Chains A and B, each alone.
Chain A
Amino acid sequence: MNAPSSHSDEDAPRDAAYWAKTVATLTVSGMPAEAINLNVEGRHLTGPLQGFGQLWQKTYRVRLSGVEVSPAQVVEVWKANLPKFMPADCRFYPSLTGVQPGEIVLIDADLPGLPPGMPVATGVLVLYADDESFTVMTPEGHPEAGFNTFSAYEEDGVTVAQIQSLGRANDPIFEFGLRFMGGSAQQEKIWCHVLTALAAHFGIGGQVQMHKSCVDAQLQWSEAKNIWHNAIVRTALYMPVYLLRKLFRR
């Protein structure tokens, strides 16, 4: 668990409390019992510059028309209900502390092309969290290297909820999966589902709009070695051991 950055009160920039502390590698603690803790502990963070594949920015928005709710209220609900808004095939487990800077959110997800019942276990770090947004950053081995920002803002008197991802496939296996195995479509479906669920929470049947652009079409071959940490491979290899250990700890 990491506390937000600390400075003397006089000198601290206004955003100081919203950022996670600098970490060399991730540590996982205070997780719900049902979360799978694999492929996060001891990993380095990977940003949009460290992945292998093409860099995409995807922005999803839903207008909460007809609802009197502020951006801060939307994000408060979002943080408190993050797992509830995720689809059944992509399960999020925030730490018991919740969505706070420096906390880990464990994830297990069913990816297209994989056998049913074999989820991929990974997680993300809450890189930044303020009243109107929170951002997660991915670790080595995660399908993507990059940031995902969940936010709300006001536009023309209406509160808009937004998800924006900026990331690349972490390694060649995930790039192949995104491009040819339906991974990209699944990713888009997930975030559309989240915004639809969030809107439904406020009693709105909102239409999600998506805009995507390829920021960098180049593959970063120097990062192909990221395959060493690939979460699909590591989950398949270590899951039996992990489950046995969990069984004997009871």
Chain B
Amino acid sequence: MPTAKVTMTVRKVSDQTGIIDIKGEVNGFAENALMDAYTQASTQTTRTIILNFSELEYMNSSGIGLLVTLLIRVKRQNQRLLAFGLNEHYQHIFELTRLREAINIYDTEAEALAAV
């Protein structure tokens, strides 16, 4: 299986909030990286996971599928999934795939944190 061209780092901004910084390409091969990052970001006290897309370089439809499965996992833990840093193109993609109805999107990290 081809290797993912993505790095995901996790920041815990509080006991209840974790941020996953995504850099590179989100496609089907990024599944392990994304799920590992979520495992790291999600603790017993975590209530909100925020995805930082400001360094996203590329996303295909399989990448959107990964976000759907991540969202299901998050909801199963009674957590919320937010996102920020999506440029206009990727906001359109979220709109087109109707992901936007389930994941609130913000322009900046500060705005996303204020919504927690």
Residues of A within 8 A of B (CB): 5, 7, 12-16, 18-23, 45-50, 55, 57, 127-128, 130, 133, 135, 137, 147, 149, 151, 153-155, 164, 166, 215-216
Chain B residues whose CB sits within 8 angstroms of the CB of A128 once the complex forms: 60-61
Chain B residues whose CB sits within 8 angstroms of the CB of A133 once the complex forms: 60-62
| Other-chain residue from B1, B2, B60, B71 in contact with A18 (beta carbon distance below 8 A) | B60
Other A-B contacts than A14-B57, A57-B65, A155-B2, 14 sampled, CB-CB below 8 A, are A5-B92, A7-B89, A12-B89, A23-B96, A46-B98, A47-B98, A49-B68, A55-B72, A57-B69, A128-B60, A137-B97, A147-B65, A154-B2, A215-B69
Q: How many angstroms from the CA of A35 to the CA of B89 in the assembled complex?
A: 33
Secondary structure type dominating chain B contacts: helix
B interface residues, tally (CB under 8 Å): 29
Closest residue of chain B to A16 (Cβ to Cβ) is B89
Residues of B within 8 A of A (CB): 1-2, 28, 57-62, 64-65, 68-69, 71-72, 76, 87-90, 92-93, 95-99, 101-102
Chain B residues whose CB sits within 8 angstroms of the CB of A137 once the complex forms: 97
Chain B residues whose CB sits within 8 angstroms of the CB of A7 once the complex forms: 88-89
Chain B residues whose CB sits within 8 angstroms of the CB of A216 once the complex forms: 72, 76
Question: B2 and A153: CB pair below 8 A?
Answer: yes
Closest residue of chain A to B97 (Cβ to Cβ) is A47
Question: B68 and A48: CB pair below 8 A?
Answer: yes
Closest residue of chain B to A13 (Cβ to Cβ) is B89
**Would you give the shortest CB distance from A130 to chain B, in whole angstroms?**
7
| Other-chain residue from B61, B69, B90 in contact with A135 (beta carbon distance below 8 A) | B61
A to B CB contacts below 8 Å, 13 in the list: A5-B92, A14-B58, A21-B92, A46-B98, A48-B65, A48-B68, A49-B98, A49-B102, A147-B97, A151-B62, A155-B2, A166-B68, A215-B68
